[in-house]
Structure 1
Amino acid sequence: MTASEFKALAQRLTARLAARLRPRTLLLVPALLVLYVLVLIPFTPGIRDLRRAKVDQPAQIYSADGKLLAEFKPTHREWVSLKQVSPYVIDALISTEDRRFYSHHGIDFKRTASAALHTLKGNKQGGSTLTQQLARNLYPEEIGRSQTLTRKVKEAITAFKIEAVYSKDEILETYLNTVPFLYNAYGIEMAARTYFGKSAGQLDLLESATLIGMLKGNSYYNPVINPERALDRRNIVLGQMVRFGHLVPNRLDGLQKRPLRIDFERQTEEPGRAPHFAQQLRKWLIAWADDNDFNIYSDGLVVRTTIDSRLQAMATQAVTLQGNQLQSIANTAWGGRGGCANANPDVAHAFIRESDEYRARRTAGANDADALKQLGANRGFMQALCESKTRVQAAFIALDPRNGQIKAWVGSRDFTQDPFDHVQQARRQPGSTFKPFVYGAAFDRGAKPTDTFVDQAVEIPINGQEVWRPTDDSPPSGKPVSLRDGIAYSKNRITAQLMETVGPARVARLARNMGVRESHLDEVPSLALGTSPVTLKEMVSAYGTIADDGNYMEPLLVTRIENKDGEVLAQFESAPERALSVSATRKLVDVMRDVINCGTGTAIRTRFGIRGDVAGKTGTTQDNADGWFILMQPQLVAGAWVGFNDSRVTLRSDYWGQGAHSALPIVGDFTQRALRSHLIDGRARFDTQETPGFWQTRIARLQTWLAQTFSKEPKPSTAKQTAAPKPARVKRAPAEPDAEVTEQTPQPPVFTSMPPLYPAPSDAASAAPASSPGE
């Protein structure tokens, strides 16, 4: 058989086979299409989800005293009913986006066919109805936006479901409240406020047409940056309204000649009472909701937090007051507004080199010197750069040490300007606030507050090559210094010698057990002076362990979560973990009282008049880059940090740079307010009485038994005795000024240590090496 004969035979066989299969194929295609649709139905959103998306019930966050702190909305949106929307908006929307909206059931087959025909001719058009667009807006992940047959079928199925669940008015209302309009404005209400400074119900015809015109392409028809395109699109919308009977024709020419008038202003959400706390809580709550099959944006969850709104307000006021005062000092130190170039040219040049403007000039071909000169001469640029770099930052957190509940959280001076959270996110060297871990580890090994080290020069080899030489703000005295005075006066040389005795590994382990559990701690000798960066939250949590007799309580944000009907879904509480022995903890609390009574934290007594039983510690790092102070009261532990985002910037003052003068006033102001408001009990006291151990108890009992058994005192007579006459009342002379008076409920003494060895307590160590920030 020749090749031509073989080809002819193949053609005849193919034609015969096709003739036999054609009727079956015609029946098979629709069956396969139906099967394809049925397979995709389970992969589209369910009716219950559609109802939940429309309801849009965000989680509500309440304080411990019942005040609303925040609502967790998925977007910046305010839901309005269809009656609250201008009728011009609805007419423009129907005319432009879906003119047969009230007659179809989710898909406009005529429009779809027309769009397909135009697309085949090279003029691409969209055929989606408002219902299909709503499906994409509500479920972008489930449906997607790729140009595939599967996506279109899923979109159509979802549109049919929406039509089955919603009325036409509900669909319009949901669409108008979920459609995006740029600048984080979602829904017609936020769009009206953003672009025209009014509510959705006040929009006139031209404003309505402008916003509806944006739906074809938000960025392309943005009236702020593309006003000419937006004007042309607005006029097209007006023409559509005339075409479909929503606007009389004789008005069209006059309206299209009117200019585009925009009153643009970005809409920002109110930060709330505790914005940084809410920011961290949102992350936690999303994780909890995912694990428990809830949606924080639509399930109407009610979250009861640990925050006390009254204490939160006091903390915010204290941070604002001290922050503003320190800012004026910083402005003076850096030469006033825009003056950082004169105050420190080298640092100013470093700031310029890190800017986008500098990189742009270098990319354009300018050399380093020319770029620095050009930008340095730009007063506006330099002022903005210096103001951003020399803005004082501050953070504060307070918790109840008895249960770990966080009562106040301020992450920066102003959330709108400084959204970065310096409580949870920022890691900075804690300076001398880290020293209690060294002393706690020593007390746990049997050291006593009266133990002494000689105040002498210290040299500690590191890795056999380097030598660490911690210093203080005064030269070595050569005299013995007790551990009590070592921490009260924050003596670096004493702490370093104690660290040698205890060991860095043991101190790091204790710090982790007590609450520093997220930051890495370098197990080196200089750790004693706080060289490893940590967060303020970790440090205050660890001090809470000290205040609670050595029990670590995990910081708690939430006490319970309820559903919208008030039923409790979950409850939360912290379980105590033993981190430090009771005996060591009580010694530590007792010596830390002296920091307040006669050491570096005396301003708590002298300036703020706080007379309760309190203990604490100041902290200052190298070059006064960070100021710290943490105060412990039996019912509340509060801590503050002050500094700058860029550690190269400081207050440039040996006085204001110290934690005792920068951070302490925040805590002192807050604690003073809390005590005066009776939100904490000023009479509460730490229990620092030593609890005898097992053998001490047995020895004491044995001594008592021996004394009673072999006592030489005569036994009391059993004979009847004549009652002695009642002695006359004698007026008792007043006690001597230095006499010890013991009461059933002792009050905290003002001074509990030996007479001061140092005439003026200081909060910072001078000439401390970079690896060992001083106090």
Structure 2
Amino acid sequence: MRSLKFRHGRSRMAALSVICLSLALALVPAGLAAQGASASTGEAWQIITPPQATLVLGRDGSLIGELGRERRINVALRSLPKYVGNAFVAVEDKRFYQHDGVDLVGVAGAIKDAVTKGNLRGASTITQLLVGNMHPDLIDRRDVSAGRKLREQQAAREMERHYNKEQILEAFLNQISFGRGAYGIEMAARQFFGKGAADLTLAEAASLASMPKSPVQYDPARYPDRNRTRRNTVLALMAEQGYITAAQSAAAQREPVRTVTTTRSPAPWVVDVVRVQAERAGIAVMQGGYRIHTTIDAALQRSTQQALSSGLDEIETRPGFRGQRCARVAADTSAAATKKAKVEACLEGAAVVLDPTTGDVRALVGGRDYARSSFNRAVDGNRQPGSSFKAFVYAQSIAQGLAANAMVADTALRIRLDNGQIYSPDNADNAFLGALTLREALTRSRNPVAVQLALAVGMDSVIALARRAGLRSPISPYPSSALGASVVQPLDFVAAYATFDNGGVAVEPRFVQHIEDRNGRTVFTPQVAPPRSAMDPRVAFIMRDMLQDVVTRGTATALRKIVPSRIPVAGKTGTTNDNTDVWFVGMTPELVTGVWLGFDKPAMISPGAVGGTLAAPIAGQIIAAAYGNRASGAWTPPPGVVPVELDRATGQPSDGTTPNERRYVEWFMAGTEPGAPVWPWSLFRLGPIGY
């Protein structure tokens, strides 16, 4: 019951007059009361289905987010423990099962309290509250006039004639607001206790029953002490009215108020993506009531978000970090923490995990904290990929006949551009290593080698390969694009890498499996693009084998230390000029994973920041979490590739003098192995190309 102490005589008399008139109206038969009021629309008494949330579900059916103007999931009263409904009856309308929609005893009691104690308390029944909440356009409960009260009472009585008590109580529990955008008992239970309403304990049910009086004042997460006090009042009323025993009431009252620590969607950026895709397909998901079945692995989604957020937090503590320290941790008064940031922004990131066979996105994170910034960097971001783009340069070189053991010089270059300027790519270590095999150059990410290859095969042919693999962003036909100078979207870039993992087939990233309406009828199923070859499967296999060396002994060894050795991993790091963007994109037999880090407005992360030390460890955490204790499959060579044991130092077949530590197996496309007819790539063996 709601009560208010009136200190001003005029206000008290006005309120008392309304209560007295309410009692008089309540005593008038329904038909006579209607004669003195404006004509009824005949709709305020009807129980309607309120707006529902559209549920966004993971591939296992678990809830990963909601859409809609009101976050509500209707539940049947019979599916709930009896004490859930009884808790609301006990505190809101103890004569609910006796009155006809208007509680004459309650109105009389309200008048008595107003006259003798100076307290004005409401006498509205659950039925009246339902009428006002369900039809606010017809019954505006902010209107304190007698006319509104008359219409409300008339509608409540009419509702009671058309529906039974169970239907009315069920509608009430599904209708009311519990604050924070949660409507109805089911969403409130999920919001505050992380469970469905059917699993509420007696104490939790009483906590929620405390809230309709004031969802803000009795919010159990924000004000647990206030909620506990009123909850115990509810429990006492339930015992007094015979719904529970005194012992049950006492036991429940001793329980602390425990709410869940977070109720955020584990996949807010995914929810945004599927909303846009559904609306483009003509499905009005914001009106609610749909179930969107996605490709997302809910557990992997959570671990991906955790790996990205914790990885960014850790990077902020490193010496030389130039941005703000934005970690949600206790205040740090150390000199490093209090030093003014050179970049007035938080370090951001994006992560994508997808199935290389189908393109199904298993996890997608568009930033470190959706509440801070909802911009989806994984889908809408455009950033330079740095050296991670080199994989497409090397793939096109192999496709045109260059073997992985071909010798290419890592040396200084002078390339005259069309505008007359000289382009001279260097390496991150400011050194040149001379002649290297193609495999070794990729493993060590030597920039001059990638540029030479791109110029030899034609940058246009590299761009065409990347386009076939799925890159939609424009790539400039300049030598610097071989080193990742043209921007890409992370989601597209990771999907393009899937071609190395699945035998050269391009895949389209997919989020939505199908959408059902509230009746379970499928109303939308995205069309699946037919398989499209992007590269020769032999090229994909050799490239993937070379990329394994990047993880095993190259620039991404930090990842190999995190991921168990039983899981094969291949991939490539990427770092842009001035240590602005850092990447790792890699693969296992079952997943392709990409991580990007940087500031939203490009700026140096820290001196010496590289993908191998910043992005690769985060990707390693994601991959390790994805597998847990599960085993991984294995990559198998396709027809048409030939293994040959070579000497790693010379790139030539091993012999009796080759030490064991230098022996390794190299893969060749049939016809390019040692002893096969010579291709016109010998120019690389003669030294660097001058321009």
Interval of TM-score (by shorter of Structure 1 and Structure 2): 0.5 to 0.7
Q: Distance in 1 between matches of 2:163 and 2:424?
A: 76
Q: Cα distance 1:546–1:592, how it changes in 2: closer, same or farther (>3 A)?
A: closer
Answer yes or no: is 1:660 the counterpart of 2:649: no
Paired position in structure 2 for 1:761: none
% identity of equivalent residues? 25
Partner of 1:620: 575
User: 2:304 touches 2:365 (CA, 8 Å); kept in 1?
Assistant: no
Give the alignment of 1:83-98 within 5 angstroms.
Answer: 83-85=82-84, 89-90=88-89, 93-94=92-93
Distance 2:282 2:393 in 1: 42
Q: 2:64 aligns with which of 49, 70, 91?
A: 70
Q: Which residue of 2 aligns with 1:556?
A: 510
**Counterpart selection for 1:178 from 175, 181, 190:** 175
2:414 corresponds to which of 448, 458, 468: 458
Q: Is the 8 A contact 1:456 1:476 kept in 2?
A: no
- The 3-state SS of whatever aligns with 1:456 is coil
Letter paired with 1:489: R
The 10-residue stretch of structure 1 (540-549 or 403-412) with the greater mean CA deviation from structure 2: 403-412
Return the alpha-carbon distance in structure 1 between the equivalents of residues 633 and 261 of structure 2: 39
Which of 482, 487, 491 is residue 446 of structure 2 equivalent to? 491
| d(CA) in 1 for partners of 2:281, 2:152 | 28
> Which residue number in structure 1 is paired with residue 605 of structure 2?
650
- The answer to whether the 8 Å contact 1:319/1:394 transfers is no
For residue 595 of structure 2, give the secondary structure of its aligned residue in structure 1.
strand
Kept in 1: contact 2:514–2:525 (CA 8 A):
yes
Q: Superposed, which structure 2 residues align to 1:112-127 within 5 Å?
A: none
Deviates more, 1:132-141 or 1:618-627: 132-141
**Residue 306 of structure 1: which of 288, 291, 295 is its match?**
295
Q: Give the equivalent residue in structure 1 for 2:356.
A: 401
Verify the 8 A CA contact 1:89 1:209 in the aligned structure 2.
yes
Do the aligned partners of residues 500 and 204 (structure 1) sit closer, same or farther apart at CA in structure 2, a change above 3 Å counting? closer
1:619–1:628 CA contact under 8 A, matched in 2: yes
Indicate the structure (1 or 2) with the bigger Cα radius of gyration. 1
Closer, same or farther: CA 129–434 of 1 in aligned 2, 3 Å: farther
Q: What stretches of structure 2 of length at least 5 have no aligned partner?
A: 1-34, 108-121, 194-198, 242-255, 643-652, 657-663, 675-691
- Distance of aligned partners of 1:141 and 1:534 in 2 relative to their CA distance in 1, 3 Å threshold: farther
Taking a change above 3 Å as real, the CA distance of residues 588 and 398 of structure 1, as seen in their structure-2 partners, is same
CA contact (8 A) 1:627 1:643 kept: yes
Tell me if the contact between 1:308 and 1:407 (Cα under 8 Å) persists in the aligned partners: yes
Specify whether residues 300 and 451 from structure 1 end up closer, same or farther in structure 2 by C-alpha distance, changes over 3 A only: same
CA shift for structure 1 position 620: 2.0
- Structure 2 contact 445–555 (Cα < 8 Å) conserved: no
- The aligned counterpart of 1:713 is none
Decide whether aligned partners of structure 1 residues 523 and 225 sit closer, same or farther in structure 2, where only a CA change above 3 A counts: same
Structure 1 distance, partners of 2:559, 2:303, is 20
2:665 corresponds in structure 1 to: 749
Aligned counterpart in structure 2 of residue 681 of structure 1, from 633, 639, 648? 633
Report if aligned partners of 1:559, 1:571 keep a CA contact under 8 Å in 2: yes
What is the match of residue 61 of structure 1? 57
Contact 1:626–1:641 at 8 Å: present in 2 too?
A: yes
Q: Is the 8 A contact 2:132 2:152 kept in 1?
A: yes
| Equivalent-residue separation in structure 2 for 1:193 and 1:528 (angstroms) | 49
Equivalent position amino acid for 2:411 in 1? D
Change over 3 Å in CA distance of 1:502–1:298 after alignment to 2: same
CA distance in 2: counterparts of 1:445 and 1:87, whole angstroms: 76
Distance 1:430 1:533 in 2: 7
Q: Tell me by how many angstroms 1:542 deviates.
A: 0.6
Out of 72-81 and 399-408, give the one that drifted further: 72-81
Counterpart selection for 1:540 from 476, 494, 498: 494
Shift of the alpha carbon at 1:628?
2.0
Could you list the per-position Cα deviations for residues 141-169 of structure 1 after superposition, in whole angstroms to 9, with x for gaps in the alignment? 9999999xxx99x9999989976864344
Counterpart of 2:164 (choices 167, 176, 182) is 167
RMSD of equivalent CA atoms: 6.6
Report the counterpart of residue 531 of structure 1 in structure 2.
485
Q: For residues 477 and 619 of structure 2, what CA distance do their matches in structure 1 show?
A: 30
- 1:609 and 1:663 mapped to 2: Cα distance? 18
Deviations 1:448-504 (A, max 9, x none): 76485672233454756x654432135565956665554343222233344456666
SS at match of 1:663: helix
Any idea what the Cα deviations from partners look like across 1:257-284, whole Å, max 9, x if unmatched? xxxxxx9998665457xx22x6514651
Match of 2:545 among 593, 596, 609: 593
Structure 1, 318-327 or 452-461: larger mean CA deviation: 318-327
* Structure-2 separation of matches of 1:575 and 1:399: 16
Q: Distance in 2 between matches of 1:579 and 1:561?
A: 29
Provide the residue aligned with 1:333 in structure 2. 319
Q: Is the 8 A contact 2:72 2:174 kept in 1?
A: no
Any conservation in 1 of the 2:414–2:424 contact (CA below 8 Å)?
A: yes
Q: Distance in 1 between matches of 2:546 and 2:613?
A: 18
Is the helix fraction higher in 1 or 2?
1
Q: Give the direction of change, closer, same or farther, for the CA distance of 1:407–1:439 in structure 2 (3 Å limit).
A: same
Greater strand share, 1 or 2?
2
Contact 1:192 1:203 in 2 (8 A): no
Q: Displacement of 1:439 after TM fit? A: 3.9
Structure 1 counterpart of 2:177, one-letter code: P
8 Å CA contact 2:45–2:131 kept in 1: the answer is: no
Q: Contact (CA 8 Å) 1:593, 1:614: kept in 2 or not?
A: no
* Separation in 1, partners of 2:343, 2:203: 51
Give, in angstroms, the shift of residue 61 of structure 1. Answer: 2.2
- Cα distance in 1 for partners of 2:272, 2:290 equals 14
- Native 8 Å contact 2:101 2:160 kept in 1: no
Which amino acid in structure 2 is aligned with residue 75 of structure 1? R
Provide the C-alpha distance between the structure 2 equivalents of 1:292 and 1:671, rounded to a whole number of angstroms.
36
| 1:288 maps to 2:240 | no
Shift of 1:541: 0.4
Whole-angstrom CA distance in 1 between matches of 2:219 and 2:567: 61
Is 2:546 the partner of 1:629?
A: no
Superposed CA offset, 1:549-571 (max 9, x none): 43321112343456788776655
| One-letter amino acid of the counterpart of residue 596, structure 1 | Q
How far apart are residue 182 of structure 1 and its match?
Answer: 3.4
Of 292-301 and 661-670, more deviation after overlay is shown by 292-301
- Flag the 1:561–1:689 CA change in 2: closer, same or farther, 3 A: farther
Q: Is the 8 A contact 1:86 1:200 kept in 2?
A: no
Tell me if the contact between 1:435 and 1:529 (Cα under 8 Å) persists in the aligned partners.
yes
2:592 match: secondary structure:
strand
For 2:87 and 2:56, the matched residues in 1 are separated by 34
Shift in CA distance, 293/661, structure 1 to aligned 2, threshold 3 Å: closer
Q: Deviations over 1:113-144 (max 9, x none)?
A: xxxxxxxxxxxxx9999768646755779999
CA shift for structure 1 position 438: 3.5
1:240-389 → structure 2 map (5 Å cutoff) = 270=263, 275-276=266-267, 279-281=269-271, 283-284=273-274, 288=278, 291=281, 299=289, 301=291, 303=293, 305-308=294-297, 312-313=299-300, 327-328=313-314, 330-333=316-319, 342-343=335-336, 347-348=340-341, 351=344, 389=346
Alignment of 1:180-259 (within 5 A): 180-187=177-184, 190=188, 202=203, 211=211, 213-214=213-214
Distance 1:475 1:425, change over 3 A: closer
Identify unmatched segments of 5+ residues in structure 1: 1-29, 112-125, 247-262, 355-388, 691-735, 740-747, 756-775
**SS in structure 2 opposite 1:494?**
helix
**For the structure 1 residues 555 and 658, does the alpha-carbon distance in structure 2 shift closer, same or farther, using more than 3 Å as the test?**
same
Contact 2:444/2:555 (CA < 8 Å) preserved in 1? no
Q: 1:265 to 1:478 in 2, by over 3 A?
A: closer
User: Is the 1:192–1:199 Cα contact (8 Å) retained in structure 2?
Assistant: no
Q: State the Cα deviation string for residues 409-431 of structure 1 (Å, max 9, x = none).
A: 45667889998765445554322
Q: What is the distance in 2 between the residues matched to 1:577 and 1:451?
A: 35
Please say if residues 579 and 604 of structure 2, whose CA atoms lie closer than 8 Å, have aligned partners that are also in contact.
no
SS at match of 1:333: coil
